[in-house]
Structure 1
């Protein structure tokens, strides 16, 4: 009777061990690939990330938004001229240099609007240069290899009792679902940032048309703050991934397999949270709220 029970126990163990190993095999592959793509995604400028979208956004900005910005610029500069004349004692104290000043401001405003695309892309080029310089310093190996962390996992699992082994199988199944969801979150955050970049650059001529005006200029200044925050968010994302890489590589070999798995998942959740918070941190740095 004991012989039959031992055989059943051994069969159940082999079944559960194979299930656990199957769950762990490639468990973090999707996360590893998404984290590895983060550096490539944030290190790419808008024109290199997707040239087709870049050309479409540039065409919209130059052919649709620039004419609208020209109308706004005309209104803003006329308002600026009226305010300048009224401020001088209702036109009783008017000097010729005021008109030269207004002409110069108008020239600068037109120059800014007509070169808005170059200005915006210049901001992103500067930010991407910073990111590419930092990539080799703060980014390490971000891959989580469960087999390396656990060592000879099959032999260690066969030493466990059926109860804890069944619990570990359930945990590995649950962790697999969580890992899949986290990889989707990382994809949404990184690719969502690039889409936000294309959206904010498409309307750039309109806020830039208000830059030289004393009252309306806040719109353009806030836009530039948001632009710098969005561009240098890439650097903060690289810092997040660098911290994540250090944490992953410092995971020690755990005697408890489940604890090691949950530690890896905890670090991944922390990465998703910090990636999400990188936008608000960048805005706080540049006061772009």
Structure 2
């Protein structure tokens, strides 16, 4: 009877050990893939990330939005001219130079609208250069291999009781499900940022049409701040990944397998949370007065 129970216990332990090692071996694969793609994705300009989408957005902006921006510019510059004329004692003192000033401001406004995409892309080219420079400094080895973190894992598992192994197996299942969710979160942050860039860029001529007027110019200035925030959000993401890489590499070999598993997952949760915060952090930096 004892030998039968020992046989069943050994079978259960082998089954649980195989299940645990199987869960842990592929647990971080999706996260490793997504994190590894971050540096490449955020370092791309909108035109390099997806040329077809960029061409579509540029075409829509030039054929649909620029005519609307032209109408807005006409209104803004007429309003600007009226302001300049009545500014001097209700038209009793009118200097001819204000008309040259108005013509110059109109020329600048038209130039900004017609070169909107070049100006916006220059912002992302600048931020991409910063990201490329940061990539050479920041540690890029972000892969988590739990089997290498926990040395002699199978040997340690073999020394445990069936109840303990069952608990580890259940926790590995929960952590594995969580890691899939975190992998999806990383995907959403990176791809969501690029979609936000495309959508914001498509309307660029309208805020640019208001920049020649003091009262309406705040719209264009806020737009430029938003573009700078989106561009340099990539740098903050790279810093975030660099911190994550340092934390991952600092995981020490632990006698407690569960501690190592939850530590790795905790770092990944921290990465996802910080990635979500980079957008609002960048906007708060560039919108600060």
Q: Which residue of 2 aligns with 1:46?
A: 46
CA distance in 2, matches of 1:140, 1:120: 29
CA distance in 1, matches of 2:209, 2:73: 5
- Aligned residue for 1:286, secondary structure, equals helix
Unpaired runs of 5+ in structure 2? none
Q: Which residue of 2 aligns with 1:213?
A: 213
Deviations 1:159-181 (A, max 9, x none): 01111110000000111100000
Q: CA offset at residue 143 of structure 1? A: 0.1
Q: Which residue of 2 aligns with 1:272?
A: 272
Q: Does 1:128 align with 2:128?
A: yes
Q: CA offset at residue 16 of structure 1? A: 0.6
- Aligned residue for 1:254, secondary structure, equals coil
Contact preservation (8 Å) 1:31, 1:182: yes
Q: CA offset at residue 139 of structure 1? A: 3.1
Compute the RMSD of aligned alpha carbons: 1.0
Number of aligned pairs?
289
Q: Does 1:86 align with 2:86?
A: yes
- Aligned residue for 1:81, secondary structure, equals helix
CA distance in 2, matches of 1:260, 1:134: 30
CA distance in 2, matches of 1:63, 1:149: 56
Q: Does 1:71 align with 2:71?
A: yes
Q: Which residue of 1 aligns with 2:282?
A: 282
Contact preservation (8 Å) 2:25, 2:145: no
Q: Which residue of 1 aligns with 2:27?
A: 27
Q: Does 1:232 align with 2:252?
A: no
Provide runs of 4+ in structure 1 moved above 2 Å. Answer: none
Q: CA offset at residue 22 of structure 1? A: 1.1
Q: CA offset at residue 89 of structure 1? A: 1.2
Q: CA offset at residue 288 of structure 1? A: 6.7
* TM-score of the aligned structures, taking structure 2 as reference length: 0.98
Q: CA offset at residue 8 of structure 1? A: 1.4
Q: Does 1:172 align with 2:187?
A: no
Unpaired runs of 5+ in structure 1? none
CA distance in 1, matches of 2:139, 2:246: 9
* TM-score of the aligned structures, taking structure 1 as reference length: 0.98
